Structure 1
Amino acid sequence: MPVELKGNIVVTGANRGIGLELVKQLAETTGEEAHIYACSREPEGSRTEALRQLTTRHPGKITIIKLDTTNEESISAAVQAVQDQIGDGGLNLLINNAAIRKPASSGALFATKKNDMMEVYETNVVGPFTIAKMFLPLLKKAAQRDSPAKGSDNKTACSSAIINISTAFSSIEKCPETFSAAQMYPYRISKAALNMLTRCQAEDFKTHNIVVTAIHPGWVQTEMGGEKAPLTTMDSVLGMLSVISSLSNKDSGMLLDWQGNTIPW
């Protein structure tokens, strides 16, 4: 049984780019029983205006949650806010999408400072680590509620998943092919670490029947990806949601692209 895009869904970094498009398409394609918790660092800020408009177009379907991925207290408060709304329902899908890239240039060695490395690592690795850790009790609730009956032969069934948005630039094997295009030291290194986090949590959470998969969204036309990127957010997210909806336990701990192809570590 694949991961069904239903129930309670949390998306981080939901105020723009890929995160905003994820919320939009999830709101449009999931059934009445689904609810999306769209996380933003500044829910009332100007950069969250598009997300607020989206909640108006889909009344009762989207709840905006304040969440700063670098602040443990903010994460804890966000978990409590979601818990208060879902009760015993559990969390079916957590998409760790929030990420940053520093410095703003190509991230060449001599343009990159220590603070760039530390800030990117904190947001792109420590953030998803802490978020998954704190949301784990809610993920376990969903997995336990909808797990296969004892003695069932269905060993691939899952109803709770964590998706870590990664990148092809995280691939150590493919680095010689991609390095000249964009060096991006902090971003590449942080996403490689995110891949290991994905692998570790896949092993750790498999006893709970929780799938953990990293997905590369492609080179996308976003604030980070730039105007020259070949993919629109709509096409990227359409592909990713198709991949997510077809995931099973065999995909846990893998790095896939937006079309479902495996990317080497």
Structure 2
Amino acid sequence: MACRICYSVLVTGSNRGIGFELVRQLVDSPLGPVKIFAGCRDPNGPRAQELQELAQKHQDVITVVQLDIGCPASITEASKLVEAKVQDKGLNLIINNAGVNIPGSLADTGKSTMVDVYTTNVVGPMIVAKDFRPLLCKAAAQFSHQTSMSCKRSAIINVSTLLSSITMCHENFSQAPMYPYRVSKAALNMLTRCLAEDLKNDGILVMALHPGWVQTEMGGSEAPLTAAESVRGMLGVITNLTEKDTGTLLDWKGNSIPW
């Protein structure tokens, strides 16, 4: 008998692009989560209208949560709201999808741009992991009879990119000389490895996932993948993660990407 992907999931940056598509496919799946927490910076703003409409159709499953990945106080408040909803069951899965890409060559990248992108792409996911860790631990404890890791038990998925690979930089830098984005996502990969080591004794799986080059506001119209195709692949990978995958960087097809 097939099992649910997980009981509960938090998706950050869920008002558009890959984040919105993650929520849409999760709620449409008969084996999707019972509770979906859709985090976005401005739930009442015009950019969240489509998300709010989806949530209205699935009020028993989707809770829209104000969560600004660049604001630690917002993350803390979001963790309290989620805790009130899940209580002793905890939170099974976090998909750290929220991110920003401000393209910049060496010549036109300054301190403020680097710091702003780093704050969103690295510090934000770190604070999310820190503040939601107790809820992830509660979820993992529900499966104390088994030692294996999975997203059904407790996991953090950090959305990374092929452009974060230091090994492959020489192959693709000329096509995308994005200093802030590349450097911050490489740092996110190290955060992923650190969290994987730190949380493994709690039974929490942590890995990084490259969604591919996707037709979104960030990816542009020339990208070869639709959001639906990317997310379908991502969810297939996430569903089948096991303990051997903790601390790894995989793409949306499940292929390993070198650090």
Number of paired residues? 256
Could you say what secondary structure the match of 2:208 adopts? strand
Q: Per the alignment, in what secondary structure is the counterpart of residue 199 of structure 2?
A: helix
1:200 equivalent to 2:194? Answer yes
Q: CA deviation at 1:72?
A: 1.1
- For residues 82-231 of structure 1, the aligned pairs below 5 Å read 82-103=82-103, 107-149=104-146, 155-158=147-150, 159-231=153-225
In the TM superposition, what is the alpha-carbon distance from 1:56 to its structure 2 partner? Answer: 2.0
- 2:21 alignment counterpart: 21
Q: Which whole-Å deviations, capped at 9, do the CAs of 1:42-91 have from their partners, x for residues lacking one? A: 00000000101111222311000001111111111000000111111110
Query: For the Cα contact (< 8 Å) 2:69–2:75, is it kept in 1?
Result: yes
Structure 1-normalised TM-score?
0.93
Deviation of 1:183 after TM superposition, in Å, equals 0.5
Distance 1:203 1:33, change over 3 A: closer
Q: Give how far 1:94 is off.
A: 0.3
Superposition deviation, residue 6 in structure 1: 2.0
Q: Unaligned 5+ residue runs, structure 1?
A: 150-154
Q: Which amino acid aligns with 2:163?
A: F
Does the aligned pair in 1 maintain the 2:149–2:204 contact within 8 Å? no
Q: Which ranges of 4 or more aligned residues in structure 1 deviate by more than 6 Å?
A: none
Match of 1:152 in 2: none
Residue 31 of structure 1, CA deviation: 4.0
Report the counterpart of residue 11 of structure 1 in structure 2.
11
Residues 3 and 244 in structure 1, CA contact (< 8 A), matched pair in contact too: no
> Structure 1 pair 252/4, CA: closer, same or farther in 2 (3 Å)?
farther
Q: % of aligned pairs identical?
A: 53
Deviation of 1:30 after TM superposition, in Å, equals 4.6
RMSD: 1.5
The answer on whether the counterparts of 1:5 and 1:30 sit within 8 Å (CA) in structure 2 is no
Asked whether the equivalents of residues 11 and 95 of structure 2 are also in contact (C-alpha less than 8 Å), the reply is yes
Which one-letter code corresponds to 2:218 in the other structure?
Answer: M
Distance 1:23 1:206, change over 3 A: same
Q: Note closer, same or farther for the CA distance 1:124–1:3 as it changes in structure 2 (3 Å cut).
A: farther
Task: Tell me the distance in 1 between the aligned counterparts of 2:253 and 2:30.
Answer: 20
Distance 1:32 1:250, change over 3 A: closer
